[in-house]
Structure 1
Amino acid sequence: MLICMQSTSVRIDRATHEELKQLAAELHTTVGHTVHLAVRALRQDKVGSDLRTPLRADESAWLDAALG
């Protein structure tokens, strides 16, 4: 999948770059798209972690408040 987009450079160590290239090949995509997928997965993990955090007292009170 070729996507035309603006780009920038990110410095990573050679071992990580080799892993990215291997993963990209396995996924039949580009290294850039593989990084995009990895960032998305990390963001989703963070959202999941945030959702597992217990509510604060003020959040619980707001959710329990009457609507009238």
Structure 2
Amino acid sequence: MSSKTLTLRLRQLEKHGLLARQVFPEVPPHVEYSLTDKGLEVQPVIMALQQLGEKWLGEKNSSCSM
């Protein structure tokens, strides 16, 4: 993933209240992201989807076309 794409994704997650962004006044610039309460609430759902995807990818003869 390019840094531009990552930045856009992080900004979207921040906009929707899932991430909090903290900028530190340093050179070079330093930014940290953390999950908000809303992000922590949705984390189990995202982890379950990840586990399901990993399971499906591990199955023989699996296909995932959309």
* TM-score of the pair, normalised by structure 1: 0.35
Structure having the higher Rg: 1
Higher helix share: 1
Higher strand share: 2
* TM-score of the pair, normalised by structure 2: 0.36
